Amino acid sequence: MSLGGSKSLLNESTRELFARWEDAKMSWRDTKALEFEKEYLASLPQAVANATRIIEELDLALAKIHADCE
């Protein structure tokens, strides 16, 4: 899989996760649900954004390496 494909898959998977989380919150409304959201989901969008930026940087670096080797 290409880096661009990996970036797309990461973003799509994150959207799917949050959509499913919204569904789960309809029936899971206790303090453990809030703890889960704070512990695992709250920081995820920023982590995905950072990973996406790094993937883009790697893609550029690999393209330059490939061009330099030709």
Q: Which residue is listed with tokens 């982590």?
A: 47
pLDDT at 51: 96
Q: Which domain holds residue 64?
A: 3-69
pLDDT digits (tens, 9 = 90+) for 11-56: 999 999 999 999 999 999 999 999 999 999 999 999 999 999 999 9
Amino acid at 33: A
**5 has pLDDT over 90:** no
pLDDT at 3: 80
Name residues whose C-beta falls within 8 Å of residue 17's C-beta, 6 or more positions apart in sequence: 41, 44
Total tally of structural domains belonging to the chain: 1
pTM score: 0.82
Q: Which residue is listed with tokens 């661009």?
A: 4
pLDDT at 4: 80
**1 has pLDDT over 80:** no
What is the separation, in whole angstroms, between the first and last Cα of the chain?
22
